[in-house]
């Protein structure tokens, strides 16, 4: 029996809809689509898409541009994107699953499961004082980049590819502020959390997510690493707008595949919009599944832990791996992602069971400041769809 979102995807494909705006017109969704098109124009984005999910259904969607400009393949509703840091929400739910099964507590020291981290210099005290909760809430003091010494030369790997590479860097890193005292985004923290999952279960991280999240929820087009052959026709290419030595902007075609290496738990998820819609449906409560995680535990993840600055036109805080946007009577939950040319966002209202997903397949490194502002306008428009 097919999942409702898979049926919806098959219907979309059968109708042969071309790029544009489709589905029920919800307040604000056209404005979101306008913001997406404006960003694509300003940033020379090759392809982008947006989806509105309500009560477990994709009720509106928009696709623009190309999945692969070189071969002339338009970007359609079945396109497979890379979701970057939205992957962290999978890792966090996996940790909560193990907590609920009595395998760990959120106040366990990370060194209980990853003793190698005792090599990191901590000027504020013992590394044993840094807890899983701090890693989940980005308040541990660990650095942001996984690959702090990258010089962006052709022979370097995209990211570290093996665990021992990270371990070899640990004696040359330090905790940046008193753990638990404030927010500071950290990608390596989620690699360490994945090591916890592997240590407890004996499964590789990727296998654990397949067996305990994706398969129970029916997310059958999600994957890590290289694209499966049967999904290859749907994989979106990705692009980067750069400036050469004389200041001329040019578009780099990065190809469809890349190796995220050891960083998969903080940014390795590949999937079509339909699988992200299933994920938001589960998170928002449209389709509960206690075998994956109870509603009570999900809501625990949305309790603010630390302030996280501004986003989407207002203040935000960080829960347990989810950004929390307080918009008066409406509380929104979600995450953004950016890696390998792709930029994305996925936010939802857990009370009204609605969510918005956006992804583009191009990053503008030629004008990073204006590009960041354009993406912020898309995020603000997405928030207004959910909290008019």
Q: What is the pLDDT of residues 366-386, one digit of tens each?
A: 988 888 899 999 999 999 999
Mean pLDDT score of the chain: 91
Give the integer Cα–Cα distance in Å for 377 and 39: 8
Give yes or no: residues 270 and 130 share one domain.
Answer: no
What's 121's domain CATH number? 3.40.710.10
Give yes or no: residues 284 and 349 share one domain.
Answer: yes
* Residue 352, in any domain of the structure: yes
Max Cα separation, the chain?
Answer: 61
Give mean pLDDT in consecutive 10-residue pieces for the chain, a chain of 388 residues: 42 40 77 96 96 93 96 96 98 98 98 98 98 98 87 81 93 97 97 98 98 97 97 97 87 91 95 97 86 96 95 90 93 95 96 96 91 93 94
* Residue 325, in any domain of the structure: yes
What pLDDT is recorded for position 371? 86
* Residue 179, in any domain of the structure: yes
* Residue 284, in any domain of the structure: yes
Give the integer Cα–Cα distance in Å for 81 and 260: 14
Give yes or no: residues 108 and 78 share one domain.
Answer: no
* Residue 142, in any domain of the structure: yes
Task: For residue 20, give both structure tokens.
Answer: 């544009």
What pLDDT is recorded for position 341? 93
* Residue 326, in any domain of the structure: yes
Angle subtended at Cα 339 by Cα 335 and Cα 345, rounded to the nearest 5 degrees: 25
What pLDDT is recorded for position 285? 87
Give yes or no: residues 243 and 375 share one domain.
Answer: yes
pTM for the whole thing?
Answer: 0.92
b/e per residue 59-82 (b: at least 16 CB within 10 A): bbbbbbbbbbbeeebebbbbbbbb
Give yes or no: residues 49 and 105 share one domain.
Answer: no
Give yes or no: residues 63 and 104 share one domain.
Answer: no
Q: Domain end: 190, 205, 220, which one? A: 205
What pLDDT is recorded for position 1? 41
Q: Domain end: 163, 189, 205, which one? A: 205
* Residue 213, in any domain of the structure: no
Give yes or no: residues 81 and 100 share one domain.
Answer: no
Give yes or no: residues 27 and 162 share one domain.
Answer: no
Cβ atoms of 344 and 84 within 8 Å: the answer is: yes
List pLDDT tens digits, range 4-50: 444 344 333 332 334 577 766 677 999 999 999 999 999 999 999 99
Give yes or no: residues 190 and 243 share one domain.
Answer: no
Q: Which residues form the domain of 181?
A: 91-205
What pLDDT is recorded for position 311? 85
* Residue 43, in any domain of the structure: yes
What pLDDT is recorded for position 154? 79
> For the chain, what is the domain count?
2
Convert the chain into a string of H (helix), E (strand) and C (coil).
CCCHHHHHHHHHHHHCCCCEEEECCCCCHHHHHHHHHHHHHHHCCCEEEEEEEECCEEEEEEEEEEEECCCCEECCCCCEEECHHHHHHHHHHHHHHHHHCCCCCCCCEHHHHCHHHHHCECCCCCHHHCEHHHHHCCCCCCCCCCCCCCCCCCCCCCCCCCHHHHHHHHHHCECCCCCCCCCCCCCHHHHHHHHHHHHHHCCCHHHHHHHHHHHHHCCCCCECCCCCHHHHHHECCCEEEEECCCCCEEEEECCCCCCCHHHHHHHCCEEEHHHHHHHHHHHHCCCCCCCCCCHHHHHHHCCCCEEEEEECCEEEEECCCCEEEEECCEEEEEEEEEECCEEEEEEEECCCCEEEEEEECEEECCCHHHHHHHHHHHHHHHHHHHCC
Q: With 0-12 CB in 10 A as exposed, 13-18 as middle and 19+ as buried, what is 119? A: middle
What pLDDT is recorded for position 11? 33
Give yes or no: residues 246 and 370 share one domain.
Answer: yes
Give yes or no: residues 369 and 251 share one domain.
Answer: yes
What pLDDT is recorded for position 313? 82
Give yes or no: residues 188 and 300 share one domain.
Answer: no
């Amino acid at each position: 029996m097919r999942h409702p979102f898979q049926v919806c995807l098959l219907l979309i494909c059968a109708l042969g809809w071309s790029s544009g705006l489709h589905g029920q017109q919800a307040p604000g969704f056209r404005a979101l689509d306008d913001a997406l098109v404006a960003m694509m124009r300003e940033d020379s984005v090759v392809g982008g898409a947006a989806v509105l999910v309500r009560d477990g259904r994709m009720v509106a969607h928009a696709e623009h541009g190309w999945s692969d400009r070189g071969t002339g393949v338009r970007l359609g509703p079945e396109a497979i994107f890379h979701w970057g840091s939205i992957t962290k929400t999978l890792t966090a739910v996996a940790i909560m699953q193990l907590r609920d099964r009595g395998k760990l507590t959120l106040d366990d020291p990370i060194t209980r499961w990853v003793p190698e981290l005792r090599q990191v210099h901590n000027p504020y005290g013992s590394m044993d004082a840094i807890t899983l909760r701090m890693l989940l809430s980005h308040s541990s003091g660990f650095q942001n980049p996984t690959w702090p010494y990258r010089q962006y030369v052709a022979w370097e790997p995209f990211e570290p590819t093996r665990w021992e590479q990270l371990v070899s860097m640990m004696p040359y890193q330090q905790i940046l502020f008193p753990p638990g005292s404030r927010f500071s985004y950290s990608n390596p923290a989620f690699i360490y959390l994945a090591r916890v999952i592997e240590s407890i279960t004996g499964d590789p991280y990727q296998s654990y997510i397949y067996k305990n999240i994706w398969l129970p929820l029916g997310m059958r087009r999600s994957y890590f690493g290289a694209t499966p052959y049967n999904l290859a026709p749907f994989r979106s290419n990705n692009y980067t707008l750069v400036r050469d030595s004389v200041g001329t902007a040019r578009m780099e075609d990065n190809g469809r595949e890349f190796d995220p290496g050891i960083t998969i738990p903080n940014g390795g998820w590949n999937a079509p919009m339909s699988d992200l819609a299933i994920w938001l449906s589960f998170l928002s409560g449209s389709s509960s599944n206690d075998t994956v995680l109870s509603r009570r535990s999900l809501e625990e993840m949305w309790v603010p832990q630390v302030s996280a600055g501004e986003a989407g036109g207002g203040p935000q805080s960080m829960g347990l791996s989810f950004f929390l946007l307080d918009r008066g009577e409406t509380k929104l939950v979600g995450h953004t992602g950016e890696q390998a040319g792709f930029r994305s966002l996925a936010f939802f209202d857990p009370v009204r069971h609605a969510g918005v997903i956006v992804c583009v397949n191009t990053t503008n490194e030629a004008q990073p400041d204006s590009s960041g502002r354009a993406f912020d306008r898309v995020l603000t428009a997405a928030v207004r769809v959910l909290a008019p």
